[in-house]
């Protein structure tokens, strides 16, 4: 989540993740998604909840998420994903 997120930045992060996984022996590729929003926006929680609602089918089978770039894993990611049964 960043108010200055663009396609190129997301692509570069995905490439970095792919390299990180490859070096660590995990041949699973790499992907990155992002939300172009100021992390201090008062609508942040609702935006995250809607994003997880849309991405939920992929999270169950193909995609892993965690806290990154202005999203707190403990206070935001885990509570929302638990609501979806992940």
Give 68's pLDDT tier (boundaries 50, 70, 90).
low
Tokens of 80: 């929302």
Domain ranges of the chain: 7-83
Rounded Cα–Cα distance for residues 55 and 7 (Å)? 18
What integer best gives the mean pLDDT of the chain? 83
Distances from the Cα of 79 to the Cα of 12, 14, 44, 55, angstroms: 28, 25, 14, 16
Alpha helices in the chain (DSSP H): 7-23, 44-61, 78-83
Verdict on whether the full-model pTM lies above 0.85: no
Write down the pLDDT at residue 50.
93
């Amino acid at each position: 989540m960043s108010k200055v997120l663009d396609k190129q930045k997301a692509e570069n992060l995905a490439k970095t993740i792919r390299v990180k996984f490859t070096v660590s022996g995990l041949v699973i590729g790499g992907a990155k998604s992002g939300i172009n929003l100021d992390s201090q926006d008062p609508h942040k929680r609702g935006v995250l909840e809607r994003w997880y609602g849309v991405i939920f089918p992929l999270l169950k089978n193909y995609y892993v998420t965690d806290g990154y770039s202005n999203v707190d894993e403990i206070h935001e990611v885990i509570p929302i994903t638990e609501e979806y049964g992940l």
